[in-house]
Chains A and B, each alone.
Chain A
């Protein structure tokens, strides 16, 4: 039945539908709601015209604006790349020592080198480059292979005792005890002498005896005064920094059967630009010469 009926309480028309005595009111939609609804319809039509919308058999409508979310990502990536591109290209074409001298390049290189360091270097050298027994501390002013920025670059680029690289830094200390070059007493004496070089507590008589042994066996690499030689990677034995420990036993162990650390050549793996950034970063840590 279609006869309009007015609900006596609300004064609103009913739809004529009735369920168990409850009648449905035909309350009109609020006008603001209706207008919002109409505007969304207009908006939706406009949207399908300007943006990709309708699926077709093998493709879809592209929209007048030619927008696509993949295109947007590509544009953003390209913009990010372009923003870095200029400065990375400059680093690639600039000599590593000049990068450190240029404030803009060095700031970028230090930030980039820092993040690279955390990924590839921190496993051995520690996250703060503080090193540990057998792994050099890169913050200090004691360098096995030289602390200028070029030295650091070469070390990272070609590695240390890394067989796969022809230009790798290489040196080997003889196993004086294991190969029978020195007997136990001689090793003890030379260890005492080494302790005396940096003014540590030592047995004076043994050190006196070790002096001659040191001159005969060790001075060729470590120098007459024990200050080492960076061209050979021979550590300075007369300073306060110790690579494998500063006790007499630790020194004797190293003389008896030396350990030799190995570092991979990072140049082929990371590329020269990244190695330059790493070198600038390491050089900036405070010990760079």
Chain B
């Protein structure tokens, strides 16, 4: 048997394992400069960035997080926000708003079938979609405003993912107990009690998920009717499919994927860095007063070794729904839910120390404090603490005033301007519209009495939820008369009944004596639509072909 070769070179019998060049010890690859450097050729101090021995798998298995229940100011605030957001979501479709007999009486309704959007006193037709676009622009600018002032408040308090995960955690805690009990249950072998708890938990999760999907569809049809149809099995297939999809996503994202959605799926953690600045509020571990941390603060004090306020109790890690340690500094995973502030404040309170070891702070304040606490690069606790459990007065404490600055002022001004502009245009919009299509084939017709006739298709839009009588007349066309067919007597104005909240399509003819219209090939005039009982009137610029050659 001959030696195997590759491109003519013999392959070593150990399968081509990477070996160091002769004269070099097989080390970890860190040092490549050989001490036995030979004259004549150079050895480069370089190594591959993806050295095979040090490659790590791209996939990381999830480490399950068991967040402990937190108590405190921000937890209370989050309960309130959660109650409001969930309350709005589940109850809004049931609010009624009287619009009379010709329009639905649901306060918030996206009627895709009839292409109408109702929001309390506002009704939007598809061509008024720019109001929705304006709302989206406001939401975008609002996100800039919120993020630049209070950081990722959206993530921490109002994002549906955060709110629903919180809700699912409430259920989990109620059934399986708090952090330690849940860890124990996870490790326990399967028993009747464990199975019962798991079944109850998942059943409640699924019930919440179904309610979430069920509430979603109620925004798109009359809620009481639809819920009755859904329960009795008479609703459209798409309704059940929507409930099914949203049930699945709610259950999977809220119950199982949780923090992974924020860390791996959501783009917002990546975008936030572009919007935060040194004056934005972020949840900050004030290591200038916490470090050096010590679990034996009293013993250290007795020995005269100065230490920081952090007692390394890990309470901040235990409550974190993202499973991170805020003491490592700002990080992508942090949704700024502020539960670590509550946890730390609780501990500090018990120890009789100042609260705010972890707090909402701006980077500017943090840097200033850090500069005072660590003038030589190392934090010196004696420069921070007054020795009686307090902080020296020269250190800064971030307050709500950090929100008010030039940048946030501009964001707020733009946001408010768009809102006010939309509100003004909403209050002053007409609920009557007229569109005119000129017949193009033929563009004009010669009549036997010498006059010229043009055909038009009029679309009268009555956007009011009540029937209206609309008078159509002509302006700027001398001798111009309208008729609906050759049998009719030509007239100067026509009146049409337009149904409530409907568009009326009318084919009509205009005839005129070309002798009275000058020498132009086309003559511009206006169609006027006037609400007979009301004051609204609109006009449409149209053209009349006179039939002349030039």
B-contacting residues of A (Cβ < 8 Å)?
8-9, 18, 20-21, 23, 126-130, 137, 139-142, 147, 236, 239-241, 284, 286-289
Contacts and interface: CB of A to CB of B under 8 A. Distances in A.
A199 to B, nearest CB: 9
Given A21-B4, A21-B6, A23-B15, A142 B448 contact: yes
A286 B6 contact: no
B445 A239 contact: no
B448 A241 contact: yes
A8 B52 CA distance: 11
B441 interface: yes
Contacts of A21: 4, 6, 11, 15-16
A289 B487 contact: yes
B356 to A, nearest CB: 46
B52 A9 contact: yes
Given A20-B6, A147-B486, A288-B487, A240 B15 contact: no
A240 B449 contact: yes
Nearest to B55: A9
Contacts of A141: 447-448, 486
B23 interface: no
B442 interface: yes
Nearest to A140: B445
Given A240-B446, A286-B455, A287-B445, 10 more contacts: A8-B17, A9-B52, A20-B11, A21-B6, A127-B441, A130-B441, A139-B442, A139-B453, A142-B447, A289-B486
A287 B455 CA distance: 11
A130 B445 contact: yes
Given A20-B6, A287-B486, A139 B445 contact: yes
Contacts of A130: 441-442, 445
B87 interface: no
B534 interface: no
A126 B485 CA distance: 21
Nearest to A7: B15
Contacts of B449: 239-240
Interface string B449-470: 1100101000000000000000
Contacts of B240: none
Contact of A128 (B442, B448, B485): B442
Nearest to B52: A9
A213 to B, nearest CB: 24
Interface in B406-440: 439-440
B453 A286 contact: yes
Contacts of A241: 446-448
B220 interface: no
Contacts of B440: 128
B509 interface: yes
Contacts of A239: 448-450
A208 B4 CA distance: 121
Q: Chain A binding site: helix, strand, loop or mixed by DSSP?
A: loop
A279 to B, nearest CB: 14
A21 B4 CA distance: 8
24 contacts: A18-B15, A20-B11, A21-B4, A21-B6, A126-B442, A128-B439, A137-B442, A137-B445, A137-B446, A140-B447, A141-B447, A142-B447, A142-B448, A239-B449, A239-B450, A240-B448, A240-B450, A241-B448, A286-B455, A286-B485, A287-B486, A288-B487, A289-B486, A289-B487
Nearest to A198: B450
Nearest to A110: B507
Chain B binding site: helix, strand, loop or mixed by DSSP? loop
A137 B450 CA distance: 15
Q: Which of B441, B446, B455 has the most CB of A within 10 A?
A: B446
Contacts of A140: 445-448, 453
Contacts of B17: 8
Contacts of A126: 442
Contacts of A147: 486
Contacts of A18: 15
A9 B14 CA distance: 13
A9 B509 CA distance: 85
Most buried by A among B6, B441, B486: B486
A288 B445 contact: no
A96 B486 CA distance: 18
Contacts of B447: 140-142, 240-241
A9 B54 CA distance: 10
A127 B15 CA distance: 81
Given A142-B448, A240-B448, A288 B485 contact: yes
A286 B509 contact: yes
Contacts of A8: 17
B528 to A, nearest CB: 22
Interface in B490-548: 509
Nearest to A127: B441
Interface in B38-84: 52-53
Contact of A288 (B53, B448, B450, B486): B486
A142 B439 CA distance: 20
Given A20-B4, A127-B441, A286 B486 contact: yes
Nearest to A239: B448
A236 B449 CA distance: 11
Nearest to B16: A21
Interface string B272-302: 0000000000000000000000000000000
B453 to A, nearest CB: 7
A262 B163 CA distance: 80
B174 to A, nearest CB: 32
Contacts of B445: 130, 137, 139-140, 286-287
Contacts of B4: 20-21
Nearest to B441: A128
B465 to A, nearest CB: 24
A141 B453 CA distance: 10
B294 to A, nearest CB: 40
Interface in B1-45: 4, 6, 11, 15-17
Contacts of B52: 9
Contacts of A127: 441
Contacts of B509: 286
A76 to B, nearest CB: 19
Interface in B185-205: none
A147 B485 CA distance: 12
Given A23-B15, A286-B509, A236 B448 contact: yes
Interface in B251-283: none
Interface in B470-486: 485-486
